């Protein structure tokens, strides 16, 4: 198998949980719908972390590393993780 074929297969396979959780959040009510929303958020966070990791790989492959890209990739992931971990507490405090 060629690398491109594997990459496309994995990319499309990665859309299945994304759309599955999205459909569950849209179609299910009460507890199953809430679990689907949490699954969607966590899967999206995992994808964001994966994309941040790909930036590391790309920066390491160049001769002169771009420090700003490394810091921004980490900053975005840390912000997203913090937002996911504190969103419910913040919403509960406001409501």
What is the spatial distance between Cα 68 and Cα 48, in angstroms, rounded to a whole number? 18
Domain range holding 71? Answer: 3-94
pTM value surpassing 0.75: yes
pLDDT of residue 16: 94
Tell which phi-psi region holds residue 28, choosing left (phi > 0), alpha (psi between -120 and 50) or beta. beta
Give the residue-averaged pLDDT of 12-29.
Answer: 93
CB 80 within 8 A of CB 45: yes
Give the residue-averaged pLDDT of 20-24.
Answer: 94
Domain tally for the chain?
1
Tell which phi-psi region holds residue 30, choosing left (phi > 0), alpha (psi between -120 and 50) or beta. left
pLDDT confidence tier of residue 9, bands split at 50, 70 and 90 = very high
- Other C-beta atoms lying within 10 Å of the C-beta of residue 89: 9
């Amino acid at each position: 198998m060629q690398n491109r074929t594997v990459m496309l297969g994995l990319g499309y396979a990665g859309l299945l949980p994304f759309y599955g959780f999205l459909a569950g959040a849209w179609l299910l009510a009460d507890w199953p719908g809430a679990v689907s929303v949490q699954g969607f958020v966590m899967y999206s966070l995992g994808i964001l972390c994966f994309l941040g990791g790909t930036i590391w790989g790309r920066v390491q492959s160049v001769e002169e590393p771009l420090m700003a890209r490394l810091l921004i990739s980490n900053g975005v992931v840390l912000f997203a993780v913090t937002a996911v971990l504190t969103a419910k507490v913040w919403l509960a405090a406001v409501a």
